[in-house]
Each structure stands twice: as structure tokens, then as C-alpha cells.
Amino acid sequence: MIQVIKNGTVITMDDKREKKYEKLDIVITEGEITELTENYQGPYDKIIDATNKIILPGLINCHTHLGMSIFRATNDNLNLQDWLNHKIWPIENHMTDEDVYYTTLLSCIEMIKTGTTTSNDMYFGVGGSLKAIEETKVRSVFSRCLTGKDSDSKKRIEEFKSLIKENQGKDLLTFTVTPHSMYTCSKEDLLEYEKIATEFHLPIHMHYSENQSEVEGIIKEYQTSPAQALKDLGYLNHKLILAHGTFISEEDQRILASHDVSIATNPVSNLNLGCGIADLVQYKKNGINLCLGTDGQGSGNNLNMFYHMSVVDQLQKAKYQDPTVMGSYDVLKMATINGAKALNLENKIGSIEKGKKADMIILDLNNTEIYPTVDLITQVVHNVESNNVDTTIINGKVLMENHKLTIEVDEEKLKENIHKIIDRLMEKEAK
């Protein structure tokens, strides 16, 4: 099937092109971008008219927990440790695989509607999560979150190995090895997880240096800095995605920069939980790849990457009291091509280029609230809202067009099921 997106302004995120954006037609053949041209006149099966609209690569959420949609905005007046120990983990212990299916399904729909086409997901459910991801046809880098220090650790490892073997070769699904964190896993567990990454040639994704107390705990337990501890564990021998990275010393930055490490910053989550503000400007100066995550809705409130892009940009400018330290294009790279690099997918997604997968979104910027557009890149990063996302395409498949989902899902029925889950879990928690 040949699809052509005509007459749109394309932000390619391809730094090899002279212009950051230009009028181009995009030809998609069997899910792949096969041509970028100013005026396509060839054959087609479907035309998508993007006149007066903006096309850009689908956004990439490099750290999230899709099963946590029912915890949306539950973080008020709680620090990280109290929120996890007293609010989240006790309730999660009662969640079934079916619960995780519905909560993940809700998140997948939220991503499609807000322009995210790929997520790096870390959660405890397996079957339910994958069912929702596959039904909605979103691209996922997936993992079964691994936590140690208990009797189920070995069971989780075997579950995860089986999961990888059963799902090899799927175009929309890849995996990472995902220890929850250094403070929830023993050294022995972390060494076991490193062996899995070696065996299956997978990146590693984990929470890292999210707040100051975590850093202090790691230094006390390992008698060295967090980055040196990771090096000693063999983790820096792998492609590594470190979520948060709010507090990284200058010395540790140099250690991480000399290896294939990306920091997936989660600015809204860090603000809500009082964790602090990562010094992304300094990380970038030291050569660390920066990408962007929303965290789960429990701490990040939503999966709308446009909102999180705006926040991360303004935070750095406020931190330095200097508006020149970070630009809108740098932020857009964090949410697209930098994210693809972090997830080892830069040859497939992250930019609109010939030969890459057709993961892209179309924005309509004509509503009064953000009119006019004088600087396009700044407009996209700071003013676009979910109602500006007109069309979402993943792997060449149109999942939303003209603001309407094309996948078969009963949203009202889904909401009913979500309410039933919340009522049941709240009742259990109250006992």
C-alpha cells in the first residue's frame, strides 16, 4: 500500500538536511518512508492532505509506567519514598493481570491522542500490558520490571526470559532488561540481571539517582559513587538508559559520558515529588545523550510529551537564570531522535528520513489559542496541546485521523472498567 502525505510542513529532525523544516510530500510504502519530495506525482492508494499542517516524527517517551494510569495525580504532599511505600506499592500488590491490561490500554490511547508513538515501558505486569500494547499497535520498548531482595526474584527472571523468547522478531516490540533500581535490588540480583543483558544483547533501563537520599544510600551501600558502582557491576558495558539522573556529580558525569549511556529526564515527576532539578545543561556539555520521559501518570500526571517538553526547557533556563542555555530544537531532539538513540532504534525511528519506519504525527496549529505561529519550533515545544494532534501514524498504520481513533476500542466501556478497578483496589486498601 502506498500512502502519500501531501502539502504539509515537515520538521524532519534530520540534521543532515539544510533546513529544520520545509514543505515536503512524504511517501509511505508498506510502513516505510520511501520518498521525501516537494511535489509527488506518482502512484498512491491513499492521500492524506496536510495543507496548513505540521508533520514531525512521533514523540518517544523514554521512561514511563503504562500500567499506572489509575494512579494519575496521586503524588500531592508526598516525597518519593513515602509515595512508593505507602501509596503505590501496597495497591499494586492487589492488581491483577486484567487490571494491568485495562490500565495500560488507557495509557496507550492517551499516547496516541497526544502524539507519542514509542514508549520505553517499565512495569510489573506482563500479559496484560503486552495485550494492550499489541491491540493498540503502538511501538513499545518493553520490560518486566525486576526487583530483588525477595523470594520471587528468580521467578521474575524466568518469566522475563520466557517473555523475550516468545516475542522475538516483532516489528513493534523490543526489550530492555529493567532492574527497578539499585536501592530495591541487591548486588547479587543486579549481577544476575547484567547476565541477561549479555545473553540476549539487550540495553538496560533503570531508575537512577532520582533524589538525594537515594544517592546517599547507594554511596553508603557500595562505598563508592553511583556511576562507579554501575561500572563495577558491568552495567556500563551495555547500552544504558538511566531514568531521572537528578543528582549526578561532575566525576560521575565523566564516567557515564565515556560509555553508551543516556539520561531519560522526567522533569514533571521530579518536581511533583520534590526530587530536584537535573542539571541537563552540564550533562549535555559533558557529552551525555539526553532524552525525555513522563514517568507514570502517578507522579508525572500525564503522558502528554508536549507539556513535559515545555517544562524541561523552562526549568533549565530558570535554573541558570539564562534563556540561552537550552533551545526549543534541543528539547525537540530529546523527545525524538535522542530518544531513538537511547533505545537503540535510531536506524528505524526518531526522524523523518527515507528508509525509516513511518512513525509520525500531524499537527493542526490553526486554533485561536495558539495562533499565530511566528517561530515554528518554539510553537511546537511550548504551545502545542493534545487537541492540536490531528493524526497519529505508527509503522505506516493510521491510528488516529482527524482527531478520531481508527483502532477498535470502546472508550466508554474502558472508563467503566477503570472505575471498577479503582473501586475494588480502594476497598482492599481500606481494609
Output the CA–CA distances (angstroms, integers) from residue 272 to 80, 266, 345, in the order listed: 9, 10, 30
- Predicted confidence (pLDDT) per residue in 388-417, tens digit: 999 999 999 999 999 999 999 999 999 999
Query: What's the rounded Cα separation, in Å, for the pair 313 and 307?
Result: 10
358: CATH: 2.30.40.10
Considering its fold, how many domains does the chain have in total?
2
Instruction: Kindly state whether residue 419 falls inside one of the protein's structural domains.
Output: no
* pLDDT of res. 346: 98
Q: For residues 135 and 14, state if they share a domain.
A: no
pTM over 0.85: yes
Give the mean pLDDT of 271-299.
96
* pLDDT of res. 431: 57
Q: For residues 134 and 158, state if they share a domain.
A: yes
Q: For residues 107 and 162, state if they share a domain.
A: yes
- Predicted confidence (pLDDT) per residue in 224-262, tens digit: 999 999 999 999 999 999 999 999 999 999 999 999 999
Instruction: Kindly state whether residue 421 falls inside one of the protein's structural domains.
Output: no
* pLDDT of res. 430: 57
135 has a pLDDT exceeding 60: yes
* pLDDT of res. 94: 80
* pLDDT of res. 141: 98
* pLDDT of res. 159: 84
Q: For residues 208 and 276, state if they share a domain.
A: yes
Q: For residues 313 and 196, state if they share a domain.
A: yes
Task: Residue 138: name the closest of 162, 172, 107, 161 by CA.
Answer: 172
428 has a pLDDT exceeding 80: no
What lies within 8 Å, CB to CB, of 29 at 6+ separation is: 1, 2, 3, 396
Query: What's the rounded Cα separation, in Å, for the pair 178 and 156?
Result: 11
91 has a pLDDT exceeding 70: yes
- Predicted confidence (pLDDT) per residue in 348-362, tens digit: 999 999 999 999 999
Q: Hey, what long-range contacts does 24-30 have (CB within 8 A, 24 or more apart)?
A: 26/55, 26/352, 26/358, 26/360, 27/2, 27/3, 28/2, 28/3, 28/4, 28/358, 28/393, 28/396, 29/1, 29/2, 29/3, 29/396, 30/1, 30/396
Q: For residues 75 and 196, state if they share a domain.
A: yes
324: CATH: 3.20.20.140
Instruction: Kindly state whether residue 422 falls inside one of the protein's structural domains.
Output: no
What lies within 8 Å, CB to CB, of 169 at 6+ separation is: none
Q: For residues 115 and 19, state if they share a domain.
A: no
Q: For residues 292 and 356, state if they share a domain.
A: no
Average model confidence (pLDDT) across the chain: 94
Give the mean pLDDT of 193-213.
96
Instruction: Kindly state whether residue 423 falls inside one of the protein's structural domains.
Output: no
Instruction: Kindly state whether residue 417 falls inside one of the protein's structural domains.
Output: no
Q: For residues 263 and 388, state if they share a domain.
A: no
User: Higher pLDDT residue, 155 or 394?
Assistant: 394
The region, left, alpha or beta by phi > 0 then psi within -120 to 50, assigned to residue 426 is alpha
Residue 143 carries which side chain, given as an amino acid letter? S
Instruction: Kindly state whether residue 324 falls inside one of the protein's structural domains.
Output: yes
Q: For residues 44 and 191, state if they share a domain.
A: no
Task: Residue 28: name the closest of 58, 7, 5 by CA.
Answer: 5
Q: Which of 300, 326, 342 is the last residue of a domain?
A: 342
148 has a pLDDT exceeding 80: no
Instruction: Kindly state whether residue 413 falls inside one of the protein's structural domains.
Output: no
For cell 499516547, the residue is: 111
Q: Hey, what long-range contacts does 197-200 have (CB within 8 A, 24 or more apart)?
A: 197/238, 198/237, 198/238, 200/161, 200/164, 200/175
Give the mean pLDDT of 168-185.
94
Q: For residues 226 and 180, state if they share a domain.
A: yes
DSSP strand pairing (389-394 vs 397-401): antiparallel
Domain of 124 in residue numbering reads as: 59-342
